[in-house]
Amino acid sequence: DDVYLAILRLDEGEDLRVFGSDSAFAEESRLGALLLGDVETAVPDLDEVVAETTEAGDTPPVDPDVEPIGDADLLADLGIPAPRLLAVCAREGMLPADLTAELCAAIGAGDAIDQLRESV
């Protein structure tokens, strides 16, 4: 199902870092519970995060039902700091495929993800 996005990152010598686009993933899915069940990382108020990351008047609507969970800084060294990741996840109407495309494009892997999608 294209309902939730989970990002996992394992760097050499580091612990696994996990981020989920919505905490409901851990409640509604066995895979989500496995990946995010023990994660307790609190996420700041999304309305504030989105307002801080956009220009005045350009603030997109925030999905009131979205509650990201986990390590929102796991892509910071790739150019996607936590506030940006949270703002993208909070945009109303964004599907996980949309999130994946936008995040991959931001880190320079947009063409690679497009090729992967076309090959499936």
pLDDT bucket at 75, cuts 50 / 70 / 90:
very high
Please write the tens of the pLDDT for every residue from 4-38. Answer: 899 999 999 999 999 998 888 888 889 989 988 88
CA 43 from centroid of its chain's CA atoms: 12
Q: What is the pTM of this model?
A: 0.79
What percentage of the chain has pLDDT greater than the value 70?
79
Question: How high is the pLDDT of residue 43?
Answer: 65
> Please, what's the b/e burial string for 37-73 (b: 16 or more CB within 10 A of its CB; e: otherwise)?
eeeeeebeebeebbeebeeeeeeeebeeebbbbbbbe
